[in-house]
Amino acid sequence: MNIEKSLDALEQLVPHYLLRNEKVSSTTVAWHIDHSLKVINSVCEALKKSNPENYKGTSSFVKFYIFLTGNIPKGKAKAPKHVVENGEISKIALENQLEISKKHLQEIKILSAKNHFSHPYFGMLPLKKSQRFLAIHTKHHLKIINEIINSNK
């Protein structure tokens, strides 16, 4: 699933934003949507601000494994503070962030292949790998959201 399809899937799940199941996650569906959108928006901002001339490829086993499998193990990483909301998350805030994310994803399509962002575990990711990371990360949270929703039926 590419990042645009993942974003569409997040949008379809906004009506369930208040759902929670402590056995699946300590947070609500809203938190997972909000976090996913914050990651998309911050990565896109970093990509747009980056200087392609400064790109240096990096490698790590963790990056190789996650990009190969397309899966992030649940509960293995801690999100940076700037992509975590600790307060109440409204439906309107989610909808506003969705619109910003859609705009960002269109804007990064015209960037150089060497525009990049620095991931705390994976190092520098060029444009295509950044887009792949966003798809993998969003898919990870979509799985958790769907578990929460399905456990509330």
pLDDT, tens only, 109-125: 999 999 999 998 899 99
CB burial readout 30-66, b (16+ within 10 A) else e: bbbbbbbbbbbbebbebbeebeeeebeeeeeeebeeb
Domain count across the chain: 1
Task: Kindly report, residue by residue over 31-59, the tens digit of the pLDDT.
Answer: 999 999 999 999 999 999 999 999 999 88
- The CATH number that applies at residue 86 is 1.20.120.450
Query: What per-residue confidence (pLDDT) applies to 80?
Result: 73
Question: What is the pLDDT confidence band of residue 5, given thresholds at 50, 70 and 90?
Answer: very high
Report d(CA 50, CA 45) in Å as an integer: 9
pTM: 0.94
The CB density around residue 132, as the number of other CB atoms within 10 Å, is 16
- Whether residue 8 contacts residue 67, with contact meaning beta carbons closer than 8 Å, is answered with no
Domain that holds residue 30: 3-151
Query: What per-residue confidence (pLDDT) applies to 109?
Result: 95
